Amino acid sequence: MAQFEPVAGTDEPIKADTLVVGGGIAGMTTAIESAEVGKQVVLVEKLPSLGGRVAAMNQYFPKLCPPSCGMEINLKRMRINPFVRVLTLAEVVSVSGGPGDFEVKIKLSPRFVTEKCTACGECEKVCEIERDDDFNYGIGKTKAIYLPHQLAYPPRYVVDPQFAGDARMKKCVEACEYDAIDLNQKERTITVKTGAIVWATGWRPYDATKLDTLGFGQYPNVITNVMMERYASESGPTGGEIVRPSDGAEVKKVGFVQCAGSRDENHLPYCSAICCLASMKQATYVRERYPEAEIHLFYIDVRSPGRMEDFYIKVQKDEKFFFHRGKVAQILENPDNKNVILEAENTLTGQITQTEVDMAVLAIGMVPNTADTPPPLDTQLDEFGFIAPDTGKGVIGAGTTMQPSDVATTVQDATGAALKAINQGGGR
């Protein structure tokens, strides 16, 4: 069985072969691949659950299956492996030493719910306090005590720390017949001694409010691609109904705005590699639910690398799918019906067009979390904040901390990172 946080008061350093930072698909892969060859691994995740951004998808290409199809097998491999220790609500605060002999300090924030939790949900039913649902990108609310998501690992509730001291939480404590809620838990710091560190802290969506001509945050019917995944998901805030945020109406005409901030010197100068395919995938969510709905996708050029070209060819055959060559320069709102108007310039002919749709989806790009939270030791980053290829001196990067990529590429990269870490040796 995988292990979790050491019991409070046991201050002995934990010894590991590999420390993995970030519990998304990259970090989970590195951890499992290393542990399955008998290496001791500590996996550090700052959120209350593993899964990263993939856990928040509705479906993912190439197979268009829900995240459970890839995640569950990984979680099973992790659950049964005694060599993995999973630390959630955990963050690396300092690193000293070097390859073969690192000493790492890790801050553990309180969950306020112990391992006695069975995820029965009785505490949530009686909880009176609500908070913004960050897993759903702010669409909707959760209770102050909540299960992070359906596939949450560990499958344990968590209390939002801002409400741990709220007198109303007493009801939740009383409702828990397993005595699993401990609102007195405190932050603590533990030490891990390890031979190698793999950094897999992944990405976050580009801040769409910076795209000041595209109306995000100003017009309710302009959403982002990551929000679209949650609208389409059965476990999302609308139970899988793709509806207009302004009035909950079914969508009849949806616009996808490619390169929203990407390949743009003022925002993200690079291509995030997955946005074109993500939008085409999301268009199929709409088309499957609403056979009469139209899709209008505005692009500079469509990028569908490798075998994904087949998917691009397939959607092109759909007669309700309209590709518009043009960069959307501006989004306006029709005040009469809250529709949004996409103003675009055809990059070949220079013609300006206006297309009115019910809802617009901004295909925003991927920003590496290392851009503003780099590893706390000398690590070479490129100009955009991605970890530069391994120099053999510091951490080993894995997944989307290295470059924007899809899940398959991320998994390959993370498996390679496991091998590099094993070769580095040291630790125990």
Ligand X SMILES: Cc1cc2nc3c(=O)[nH]c(=O)nc-3n(C[C@H](O)[C@H](O)[C@H](O)COP(=O)(O)OP(=O)(O)OC[C@H]3O[C@@H](n4cnc5c(N)ncnc54)[C@H](O)[C@@H]3O)c2cc1C
Residues within the interface to ligand X (CB under 6 A): 21-27, 44-47, 52-54, 57, 60-61, 91, 200-203, 225-226, 229, 274, 278, 281, 366, 369, 373, 399-400, 405-408, 410
Rounded to a whole number of angstroms, the minimum distance from the CB of residue 353 to ligand X is 25
Min CB(44)–ligand X separation in Å: 5
Task: Calculate Rg over the CA atoms of the chain.
Answer: 23
The distance of closest approach from Cβ of residue 407 to ligand X in the complex, given in angstroms and rounded to an integer, is: 3
Nearer Cβ to ligand X, position 176 or 287?
287
Is residue 37 within 8 Å of residue 9, measured between CB atoms? no
Least CB distance to ligand X at residue 242 (A): 14
Contacts for 149 with CB less than 8 Å, ≥ 6 apart: 49, 51, 55, 56, 135, 235
SS3 119: coil
Please report where in the chains the tokens 């990108």 appear, as a residue.
137
Q: In the complex with ligand X, which residue's Cβ is closer, 169 or 407? A: 407
Q: Which is nearer to ligand X, 26 or 108 (CB)?
A: 26
- The smaller minimum CB distance to ligand X, of residues 27 and 110, is found at 27
- The DSSP element (H or E) to which 130 belongs, if any, is strand 130-132
| CA torsion angle 107 111 117 119 (round to 10) | -120
Q: Token pair 């899709």 is at which residue?
A: 295
How far apart are the C-alpha atoms of 77 and 99, rounded to whole Å?
A: 27
Q: Taking the complex as a whole, how short is the minimal distance between the CB of residue 202 and ligand X, in angstroms?
A: 2
Q: Give just the sign of the alpha carbon dihedral 32, 33, 36, 40.
A: negative
Q: Are 341 and 354 in contact (CB under 8 A)?
A: yes
Instruction: Please report the DSSP string for 246-261 in residue order.
Output: TT-PBPSEEEEEEEES
Rounded CA gap, 131 and 119, in Å?
A: 19
Between residues 17 and 229, which has the closer beta carbon with respect to ligand X? 229
Least Å distance between CB 369 and ligand X?
5
Cβ of residue 409: shortest distance to ligand X, in angstroms? 7
Nearer CB in complex with ligand X: 172/232 = 232
The distance of closest approach from Cβ of residue 92 to ligand X in the complex, given in angstroms and rounded to an integer, is 6
C-beta of 43 vs 331, nearer to ligand X? 43
Distance CA(168)–CA(25), nearest Å, equals 36
Query: How far, CA to CA in Å, does 51 sit from each of 56, 146, 202?
Result: 8, 16, 11
The answer to whether 331 and 215 have CB atoms below 8 angstroms apart is yes
- Dihedral through CA 14, CA 78, CA 148, CA 60, nearest 10? 130
Please, what is the minimum distance in Å from the beta carbon of residue 412 to ligand X?
11
Q: What is the DSSP letter of 296?
A: E
We find the least distance from the C-beta atom of residue 19 to ligand X, in angstroms, to be 11
Residue with Cβ nearer ligand X (169 or 192): 192
Nearer to ligand X, 54 or 172 (CB): 54
CA distance 426 to 16: 9
Q: Which is nearer to ligand X, 42 or 145 (CB)?
A: 42
Q: Which residues of 66-90 are buried (b: 16+ CB within 10 A; e: fewer)?
A: bbeebbeebbebbeebebbbbbbbb
Question: Least Å distance between CB 349 and ligand X?
Answer: 30
CB of 96 or CB of 349, closer to ligand X: 96
